[in-house]
Structure formats: C-alpha cells, structure tokens
Amino acid sequence: MRGFLFFLFSLFFFSGFAQEGMVKAEIDTTNIRIGEQFQLKISVDETQNVIIPKLRLNGLEVIDSTKVDTLKNSLIRRYILTGFDSGAFYIPQQQIFVKNRAYFTDSLLVNVATVAIDTTKVKKFPIKSIKKEPYTFDDFKIYFYILLAALAIIGFWIYWFVIRKRKEEIEAPTYRTLPPYEEAILRLSELDEKLLWQNNKVKEYYSELTEIVRGYIERELNVPALENTTDEVLEMIRDFKKSDTIQTSQDTLDKLRSLLREADLVKFAKSKPLALEIEEDRKDAQEIVSNLKPKPIIEENDELE
C-alpha cells in the first residue's frame, strides 16, 4: 500500500515538473532607466499545436516583436519592451496553449529607474516670453478676398471704359466706298483670279459675272437691277435710252442683252459655252461697265455760261 502511494506521488510530482518546464520566460535585465529597452524571450519545448496569445503587461509597453523561431524541438519568440514610468513592474504570468492544454510562464520583476540629472552641469537659460502662434492664411483671407474683389472691379472698369473703347475705335471701318465703276473693275479682276470656268465651274462664273454687271447698273443708274429679271432689266435700260437719260451706244446695249441671256441659259438651261465665248463675254462685261453711264446733269448756270 505504501509503495502504491509513493508511486502516485512520484508520478504527480514529475508530471507537475514537466508542466512547469514546458514554457519559460526570460528577460536580459531586471533594471532599466526610463525609456531604455530590454528583451523578453518566451520559449516553448514543443513545436506542434502551440498558441502564444497577445502579451499582457502592466506598466510596460511593447516596442517590437519577432516572429516565432523554431530551434531544434522548441519555439522561441522575442519581444522588445520599455517603460516610461519609474517603479517596479511585474511581467505577469503568460498563458500559453500547447496541444489544447494551458501552461503558464513565471512572472518577472523589472525595475524602472529615473535618470538622475546633475543640475550643476545644466546650463541655465532666462525665462522666455510667451511665443505667439504663427500667422496662417485664415488670418488674412478676408483681406485677400477684398483685394480680389477690388482688382476685379478695377479690371472691369479699365476694360469697359478704356480697352473696349479703344478697340471699337481701332475696329471702326477706315475704308472708303469705291465709285460704281471702280468697284466693278476691281470685282472683275478678282473674278479672273478665281479661275472658276477654268475649273469647270461655269455656272458659278456666270452668276458672279452678271451679278457684278447688275450691281454696277443698280448703283450707277439707281435701279433695282439685282432683284429684277433679265427682261425687266433690259426694259428699264431701253426706257432710259428712249428718254435720253443714259450715255451709251446701241452696241453696248446689244452686248448687255446677249450677256444676260447667255448667263440665263447657263444657269437655268445648263448650257455650256466654249472657252472662246466665255472670254468674249468677259470682255463684253467690262465694256458694258465702261460705256453704260448716266448723262451728266447740266445746271442752268452752266448753260448760260
């Protein structure tokens, strides 16, 4: 009976000893100064099914930690700790699970001491006055917005009363209206430079050519030649000829009739005159402009003279 009890006691004793030796916590120093760092190492004599929970501390702080290292048949994890308050602090027992069984490390005592300051070697400085806060944009933004508004008003005033007025003066037309004859000759020259009929644009060429001639007649004789038909224009010219109010020849009137009717055929009947005929019509147009003029008005004083 005594032997059996001794066996049970021995079994319990060695089992407890094995449990205590399964996990271990060590620190590299027990005394530090405020802010100094020291290392805590937790070792587990097992590599399978091991859980190391988050470190629980009182008065100390974790600065950094390493991953779990495997060394032979053990797991090791290291922590870098420090303290910012003076005093004695315990690292409490840490609960570690090995194969779903809880094991506890020993608690460890760490003394955190203040740093002694030798006041005899510290340089003394005079008491400084209260330092004012630096200026920020918010302190001046109201003045900034007022300045922007003032600049906008001044800019608008300058544009409206100076620049715009000067621009209008510059853009004011400075050309003079050409007399009917000079305008017609100029437009005929510009028509020649376009090379319309040479590029198979005969219809456009005759439209512009007769428009020049009609425009000359309208301005020179003060009749709506641009709005009337060919027959109406020819009728007005015959009336002027009968009333002896224009200065021209019958040959010029015949050329005018021929030019206008040829243009109507090209525009409405899709007639295609030859190049020689087109050049002849161009000469006739200039001759019409040169020879079709109103008779000058002779005043009574001029007749008496």
CA distance 100 to 118: 54
pLDDT in tens, 200-227: 999 999 999 999 999 999 888 888 888 8
Phi/psi of residue 41, each to 5°? -120, 125
Query: Of 84, 113, 142, which marks where a domain is finished?
Result: 113
Q: Is residue 158 part of a domain?
A: no
| 22 phi-psi bin (left φ>0, alpha ψ -120 to 50, beta other) | alpha
Please tell me whether residues 198 and 277 are part of one structural domain: yes
Tokens matching residue 179: 């007399």
Asked if the structure places residue 77 within a domain, the reply is: yes
Residue 112 has pLDDT above 60, yes or no: yes
Domain boundary among 62, 78, 113: 113
Contacts from 198-203 at CB under 8 Å and sequence distance 24+?
A: 202/266, 202/272, 202/273, 202/278, 203/266, 203/267
User: Over 70: is that where the pLDDT of 16 sits?
Assistant: no
Among residues 95, 113, 131, the one where a domain terminates is 113
- Are the C-beta atoms of 292 and 236 separated by less than 8 Å? no
Query: Are 204 and 292 in the same domain?
Result: yes
Domain count, the chain: 2
- Judge contact between 82 and 3, C-beta under 8 A: no
Average pLDDT in the 244-268 region?
88
Express each pLDDT in 131-181 by its tens digit.
Answer: 777 777 777 788 888 998 999 999 888 888 788 777 666 655 555 688 999
**CATH number for the domain harbouring residue 83:** 2.60.40.10
292 lies in some domain? yes
Residue 237 domain flag? yes
150-163 pLDDT, tens per residue?
999 998 888 887 88
How much is the pLDDT for 125?
Answer: 62
Helical H segments across 121-201, by residue range: 137-158, 164-171, 180-194
Residue 7 corresponds to which tokens in the numbers above?
């066996």
CA separation for the pair 164, 187 (Å, rounded) = 34
Residue type, 226: L
Range of the domain at 257: 180-298
* Predicted local confidence at residue 170, as pLDDT: 61
Q: Look at residue 12 and tell me whether its pLDDT is greater than 50.
A: no
Interval 115-122 mean pLDDT: 62
Are 105 and 207 members of one domain?
no
What percent of the chain shows pLDDT beyond 90? 26
**Is 5 within the bounds of a domain?**
no
Q: How does pLDDT run across 63-88, given as a tens digit for each residue?
A: 888 888 887 788 888 999 998 888 89
Confidence grade of residue 244 (pLDDT, cut at 50, 70, 90): confident
Among residues of the chain, what percentage have pLDDT more than 70? 83
